[in-house]
Structure 1
Amino acid sequence: MALVEVKVPDIGDFKDVAVIELLVKPGDRVAVDQSLITVESDKASMEIPSSHAGVVRELKVAQGDKVSEGSVIALLEAQGAAAAAPSAAPAAPAVVEVAAPAPVVAPAPVAAPPAAVAAATAPAAGASDVGAHDPTRPPVGLPHASPSVRKLARELGVPLEEVRGSGPKGRITVEDVQAFTRAVMAGEQTTRAQAARAPQGGGDGAALGLLPWPKVDFAKFGPIERQAMSRIKKISGANLMRNAVMIPAVTNHDDADITELEAFRLQLNKEHEKSGVKVTMLAFLIKACVAALQKFPEFNSSIDVEGGGDALILKRYWHIGFAADTPNGLVVPVIKNADQKGILQISQELAELAKKAREGKLSPAEMSGATFTISSLGGIGGRYFTPIINAPEVAILGVCKARMEPVWDGQQFVPRLMLPLSLTWDHRVIDGAAAARFNAYLGQILADFRRVLL
């Protein structure tokens, strides 16, 4: 066997493009035209295929490196001259995606080189007919997918190594990712025939029937600065995208009279000034939400995805998450067993967790297990907003800045401190009437906190 260098072929008018993904590792056996790396420029993404079949002995590039035509990708122990591509011309990239001003229409199939046809029709070595998705099953092998499919999977939080590809040579398609997402969310077993009947579509927004994202050269309009997104925002962005797309969410807006509660809060802080514990309105909100969740248990539930998606898991514990603003983005620490804690203890834990969040010292355990989340904009401002549900929870409460307003008491207008509430809920689990009752009950508790004792 000969040791050969696999180089970047002619990839068009591109130079010094970034390596964004390594698709193989030393020791892997690869076939002709199997993708080795994915590169991306500001105009296109593409997979670079292998020109030979054999075993990868050494990778010459790492994620983040820049490559151009002729750059050495890997050293390959080739399986003889017969393994090489029959044509002397450089191999073409597996997939190229160029920005277009109009929706992209899939081109008609073109004739493939004989070697590619043979590779597509012959079964892969060691391949077997893999059944429907099973999360406990070991990965089926190295994911083989185009950059657009990989991007869609990242946006939806789909692990490609667990997806069964229905395309040529086991290639993962948009329809496979969509079918996997539906199966996991609903607990269904999606077959290959069902995936084949799924609507055809492109990557990214095209998978949802949307126009391609606009490609704009912002620099031609004025000065710009490119700023990398924080790791927290990258991770949370994928989760938010999945939750916003997969959950049929509805938001109810209401106001709660917290005039007496705010006076009580100020009194508590005055009494406990020397203890160092500062009571915030969020502590009262957590206790009030626990009382409302106990009265309306479907808000403290999750869909039983593993059981088929046709039942609810009602949780008999009350762990309340709260969105904490940090220099790197939002994180959600969790107050565990909030039903068993008083206002002062909750206030102390809120302060400790918020401090850890700002310093980036939260542990995974301190950010897991929430059954319901509160997103409070506190004293920043705003009136109402639509928070995104934190799956697998089924509801989230958004809170804005309280303000004094004239409220009619039956005889006259009196000044009252009103707190805006925005309750977002999963319509698969909760209906409008239940949401209205939840918000109304929550408002009653905040108006007269003695109701928590009932």
Structure 2
Amino acid sequence: MSEVIRLPDVGGDGEVIEIMVAVGDRVEAEQSILVLESDKASMEVPCPRAGTIKALKFKLGDRLKEGDELLELDVDAGEDSTAAAADSEPAPAAASEPAEKPASAPEPAPTQVQTEKPAPTALPTSAPAESARVHAGPAVRRLARELGVDLGRVEPSGPHQRILKEDVQGFVRSALQSPGAGGGAGIEPIPSIDFSRFGETEIREMTRLQQLGAANLHRSWLNVPHVTQFDQADITELEAFRLAEKTAADQAGVKLTLLPFLISACARLLEEMPEFNVSLLGDGKRLVQKKYVHIGFAVDTPDGLLVPVIRDAGHKGLLQLAAEAAELAEKARNKKLGSDAMQGACFTITSLGHIGGSGFTPIVNAPEVAILGVSRASHQPVWDGAAFQPRLMLPLSLSYDHRAINGAAAARFTRRLGELLGDVRRMLL
């Protein structure tokens, strides 16, 4: 007897990140057929009946919701007829707890250092061949690649020796906390303190985005020899031009801020100074020269920092850049930004001008080799040769990887950036 199996109530919709069966496979009742990833968790979805799969109704990357067709199943003749009614009932357990962590399974200890596989003194930059043979879904493998983790060294805690995202994150925490890794050069890690001895405390979990960001920033800080070049740009005329074009921008349905000018100027400079548009290969001896110019910009969201990317930024006008940046920032804040929209940047801009401050040291977003930090512009007296004139000055902080860029090049970059921002007509030359 042929039967269509549908997705039960799993507490919301989700994306198919792994398909665990194929047409023609025979499955047992409660055997997992796919892995669904929601905004909160990953879960395996079981088949409620035993039988042979005649057709799959979904593919990798599909977003499924309750009631969507999963597969057509040729049900075994001996199956209890009453099971069909049970199939239509919701599965409340799946909504409250991911299927990857059944109640009978012991809770993993993510911060415990593995005794069989000791934490390395540094996270490997590439995963060796054995990582391909471990049991992990595409999302977990992607996370491992982003963090430079060899999945072959990660202890699984999921069913059937499956590696979960929590296992990868726990491995990173263990590696960073081990002597010689977290502090670098054998420096002891920061000791644990019972802060409740001094007053009332509360333990709050970091969001997944904050955890990933912390690991990425720590890795970049330990691996990249940072230097920061500080400068100022006179944007008096640029600000006058921006305000004068407010009506045109409103008619185009966009808000013309300083960001599009910065993106356009930096894209121009990456073409003029290609040594800033490179990445170092893992051997530390070769550079990848990029022939494209994609600019990332940091967006502050309630869950943490995201960096969407504007592609081919040098080929777009100010109004187009303003519209695209606003759209990407809105998606980032509403958790609708896909992973592809945050990949491929050649250079990153991070701005604190809307908050305040006169300068800061941004951390290079490796594998990029430079990042521009922008603080709040302020009116300052500037000597013009005859008298002091009030000018609107914008603080610039350019952090760079000293392995790829020398100090003279960084100083030329900020000076040239000041020239472009000081006279917007230069961007047209």
Common fold by TM > 0.5: yes
Q: Which of 368, 379, 382 is equivalent to 2:357?
A: 382
Contact 2:127 2:150 in 1 (8 A): no
Q: 1:157 — aligned with what?
A: 147
**1:352 and 2:344 matched:** no
Determine the C-alpha separation between the residues in 1 that align with 2:308 and 2:372: 15
- Which residue matches 2:10? none
1:291 aligns with 2:268: yes
**Hey, what's the Cα distance between the residues in 2 that align with 1:339 and 1:407?**
31
Where 1:139 maps in the other structure, the secondary structure is helix
Equivalent residues in 2 for 1:286-435 (5 A)? 286-305=263-282, 308-435=283-410
Partner of 2:250: 273
**1:273 Cα shift?**
2.2
CA distance 1:263–1:206, shift in 2 (3 Å): closer
- In the alignment, the residues of structure 2 paired with residue 262 and residue 347 of structure 1 have an alpha-carbon distance, to the nearest angstrom, of 15
> What stretches of structure 1 of length at least 5 have no aligned partner?
1-57, 67-92, 98-131, 144-153, 165-180, 182-200
SS at 1:420 equivalent:
strand
Q: What residue in structure 1 maps to residue 198 of structure 2?
A: 221
User: What does residue 253 of structure 1 align with?
Assistant: 230
The secondary structure found in structure 2 opposite 1:410 is: coil
Please tell me the residue identity of whatever aligns with 2:149: P
Q: For residue 219 of structure 1, report the CA deviation from its aligned partner.
A: 1.1
What aligned pairs does 1:178-257 form with structure 2 within 5 A after superposition?
A: 202=179, 204-205=181-182, 208-257=185-234
**Cα distance, 1:62 vs structure 2:** 4.2
Structure 1's consecutive aligned runs of 4 or more residues displaced over 6 angstroms after TM superposition are 140-143
Identity %: 49
Alpha-carbon distance change, 314 to 211 in structure 1, aligned in 2, over 3 angstroms: same
Structure 1 distance, partners of 2:125, 2:236, is 54
Q: Which amino acid aligns with 1:314?
A: Q
Match of 2:72 in 1: none
Query: Kindly tell me: are residues 289 and 349 of structure 1, through their superposed partners in 2, closer, same or farther at Cα, counting changes over 3 Å?
Result: same
Q: How far apart are the structure 1 equivalents of 2:148 and 2:311?
A: 29
User: For residues 387 and 440 of structure 1, do their structure 2 counterparts lie closer, same or farther at Cα, with a shift above 3 Å needed?
Assistant: same
Query: Is this contact kept in 2: 1:395–1:426, CA < 8 A?
Result: yes
CA distance in 2 between counterparts of 1:440 and 1:207 reads 34
Tell me if structure 2 keeps the 8 A contact 1:247–1:426: yes
Give deviations 1:382-416, integer Å, cap 9, x for gaps.
11111111111000000011000000101100000
Unmatched segments (≥5 aa) in structure 2? 1-101, 119-123, 136-143, 155-171, 173-177
What is the letter of the counterpart of residue 289 of structure 1?
C
Give the deviation of 1:270 after TM superposition. Answer: 2.5
Amino acid at match of 2:251: K
Q: CA deviation at 1:208?
A: 2.8
1:141·1:161 contact (CA, 8 Å) conserved in 2?
A: no
Deviation at 1:292, TM superposition (A): 1.2
Judged with a 3 Å threshold, the aligned counterparts in structure 2 of structure 1 residues 313 and 411 are, in CA distance, closer, same or farther, namely same
User: What's the CA shift string for 1:411-436, capped at 9, x where partnerless?
Assistant: 10000000000000110000000100
Alpha-carbon distance between aligned partners in 2 of 1:367 and 1:62, rounded to the nearest angstrom = 35
Q: 1: CA distance between counterparts of 2:109 and 2:393?
A: 55
Distance 2:218 2:313 in 1: 29
Over the residues paired in the alignment, what is the CA RMSD in angstroms? 3.1
Aligned ranges for residues 55-74 of structure 1 at < 5 Å? 60-63=104-107
Q: Distance in 1 between matches of 2:392 and 2:226?
A: 29
Task: Give distance in 1, aligned partners of 2:108 and 2:230.
Answer: 46
Q: Return closer, same or farther for 1:272/1:142 CA change in 2, 3 Å cut-off.
A: closer
Q: Distance in 1 between matches of 2:152 and 2:184?
A: 20
Letter in 2 for 1:157: L
In the alignment, is the contact (CA less than 8 A) between 1:324 and 1:330 conserved in 2? yes
Instruction: Report the Cα distance in structure 2 between the residues aligned to 1:231 and 1:133, rounded to whole angstroms.
Output: 22
Which whole-Å CA distance do the structure 2 matches of 1:272 and 1:335 have between them? 19
Number of aligned positions between the proteins: 290
Q: TM-score, normalised by structure 2?
A: 0.62
Q: Is the contact made by 1:133 and 1:163 (CA closer than 8 Å) also made in structure 2?
A: no
